[in-house]
């Protein structure tokens, strides 16, 4: 396998060893089929490939054309890259002759090259066009959305996706500014937010929550996660591992609730005449919740908010419908 380094913007994969360890690739499992739902710059995929056997397969997904370009440099016959969201997993696997997989990893974080490249418009730290799309080949940019959306919807998105208590003031300021001039750069938007937000947590830029909210909305990140969780579960073989790394509370809350719903099945009244085999059975076993070590956070501060939840798919009992 050969790899090509990212020349300008470097990326440190969060929870690299912990995530790949969670997939338990030793022994017979090293010959299975695995999914990396978010290739990024390939840190997890490369380590997974290094531990897989010669007959194994790894199918990776990403929406970002730059990530796809990096993935196409991975010269390994066991590896396949799909230019789409992991929310299309079921159809993409079926198209490639795969019914079930032995492990799925989803790293929901935005990659450092995306943040650091001002041309992508994800960050308020460097001025650039207000784009924010993961897939720059399709969809509406953040600038286009801000130019046309109603004040009420702007407020709702910023409040719900950014958990921003000044959402009303920010939405009102955006509408007032766009009546004067187009809002087309990250610096413009950051300045508008700074003028509308009166107080902020120490050490946090006033624009942080608003930029997060718009990015999540533009890229349909929560919708993709909701669909992706169900498809990942459906695609897992009995005994298969699902490991998910999230970076903000909205994502982690969704993952936690999904895992709990599959692992904690309400039981009917024991006095009812129901055979044991017909009782609702847990479908997932919760394995672990892992956060980056202090050493990793010191080396890569962007890892600070990461949390990984790991679960195993349980087989149905014999005779179950």
- pLDDT the model gives residue 98: 97
Instruction: Give yes or no for residue 321 having a pLDDT over 70.
Output: no
- pLDDT the model gives residue 199: 76
Higher pLDDT, 265 or 229: 229
113 — pLDDT class (breaks 50, 70, 90): confident
Residues 58-100: pLDDT tens digits?
999 999 999 999 999 999 999 999 999 999 999 999 999 999 9
8 — pLDDT class (breaks 50, 70, 90): very low
- pLDDT the model gives residue 202: 76
CATH of domain 16-112+221-313: 3.40.50.150
55 is in an annotated binding site: no
Q: How would you classify residue 109: left for phi > 0, otherwise alpha for psi between -120 and 50, otherwise beta?
A: beta
Instruction: Give yes or no for residue 125 having a pLDDT over 90.
Output: no
Q: Among 8, 10, 63, 80, which Cα is nearest to 41's?
A: 10
Tally the residues of the chain: 321
268 — pLDDT class (breaks 50, 70, 90): low
Query: Cα separation of 307 and 91, whole Å?
Result: 28
Half-sphere exposure of 294 (CA within 13 A, CB side): 0
Q: Among 70, 80, 73, which Cα is nearest to 48's?
A: 80
Lowest mean pLDDT among 98-107, 113-122, 170-179: 113-122
Residues 211-254: pLDDT tens digits?
999 999 999 999 999 999 999 999 999 999 999 999 999 999 99
Query: Cα separation of 87 and 37, whole Å?
Result: 9
Instruction: Give yes or no for residue 157 having a pLDDT over 60.
Output: yes
Higher pLDDT, 317 or 172: 172
What pTM was estimated for this model as a whole?
0.89
- For the chain, what is the largest distance between any 2 Cα atoms, rounded to a whole number of angstroms? 71
115 — pLDDT class (breaks 50, 70, 90): confident
Task: Return the DSSP state at 131.
Answer: -
| Alpha helices, H only, the chain | 16-22, 43-51, 65-71, 89-95, 112-116, 142-148, 151-162, 167-178, 186-196, 208-218, 221-235, 249-263, 294-299
Range 303-313 average pLDDT: 96
64 is in an annotated binding site: no
List, in sequence order, every residue forming a beta bridge with 57; answer none if it has no partner: 33
44 is in an annotated binding site: yes
Residues 192-218: pLDDT tens digits?
999 999 877 777 889 999 999 999 999
122 is in an annotated binding site: no
Tokens of 307: 């949390």
Is 154:95 a contact under the CB 8 Å cutoff? Answer: no
Q: Kindly tell me the sign of the dihedral angle through the C-alpha atoms of 214, 308, 67, 78.
A: negative
121 is in an annotated binding site: no
Could you check whether 16-112+221-313 and 136-218 share the same CATH topology? no
259 is in an annotated binding site: no
Residues 17-67: pLDDT tens digits?
999 999 999 898 999 999 999 999 999 999 999 999 999 999 999 999 999
Query: Cα separation of 23 and 30, whole Å?
Result: 10
Percent of the chain with pLDDT over 70: 90
Pairing assessment for the beta strands 33-36 and 57-62 based on DSSP bridges: parallel
Is 96:26 a contact under the CB 8 Å cutoff? Answer: no
Instruction: Give yes or no for residue 291 having a pLDDT over 80.
Output: yes
Instruction: Give yes or no for residue 112 having a pLDDT over 80.
Output: no
86 is in an annotated binding site: yes
CATH of domain 136-218: 1.10.150.170
Higher pLDDT, 278 or 254: 254
Per-domain boundaries in the chain: 16-112+221-313, 136-218
Percent of the chain with pLDDT over 90: 79
3-state SS assignment for residue 60:
strand
- pLDDT the model gives residue 110: 85
């Amino acid at each position: 396998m050969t790899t090509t380094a990212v020349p300008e913007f470097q990326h440190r994969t969060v929870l690299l060893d912990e995530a790949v360890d969670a997939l338990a690739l030793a022994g017979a499992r090293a010959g299975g089929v695995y999914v990396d739902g978010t290739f990024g710059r390939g840190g997890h995929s490369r380590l997974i490939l290094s531990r897989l056997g010669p007959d194994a397969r790894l199918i990776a997904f990403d929406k970002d054309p730059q990530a796809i370009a990096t993935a196409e440099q991975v010269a390994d016959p066991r590896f396949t890259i799909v230019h789409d969201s992991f929310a299309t997993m079921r159809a993409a696997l079926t198209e490639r002759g795969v019914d079930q997989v032995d492990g799925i990893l989803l790293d929901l974080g935005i990659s450092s090259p995306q943040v650091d490249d001002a041309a992508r418009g994800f960050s308020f730290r460097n001025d650039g066009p207000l784009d924010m799309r993961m897939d720059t080949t399709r969809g509406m940019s953040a600038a286009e959305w801000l130019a046309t959306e109603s004040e009420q919807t702007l407020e709702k998105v910023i409040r719900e996706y950014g958990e921003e208590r000044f959402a009303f003031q920010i939405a009102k300021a955006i509408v007032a500014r766009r009546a004067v001039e187009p809002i087309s750069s990250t610096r413009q938007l950051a300045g508008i937010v700074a003028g509308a937000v009166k107080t902020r947590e120490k050490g946090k830029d006033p624009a942080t929550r608003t930029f997060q909210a718009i990015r999540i909305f533009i890229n349909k990140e929560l919708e993709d996660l909701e669909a992706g969780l169900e498809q990942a579960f459906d695609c897992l073989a009995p005994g298969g591992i699902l490991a998910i790394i999230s970076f903000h509370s909205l994502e982690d809350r969704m993952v936690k609730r999904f895992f709990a719903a599959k692992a904690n099945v309400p039981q009917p009244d024991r006095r009812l005449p129901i055979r044991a085999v017909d009782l609702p059975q847990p479908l997932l076993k919760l394995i672990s919740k892992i956060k980056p070590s202090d050493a990793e956070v010191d080396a890569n501060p962007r890892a600070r908010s990461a949390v990984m939840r790991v679960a195993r798919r349980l087989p149905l009992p014999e005779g179950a419908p």
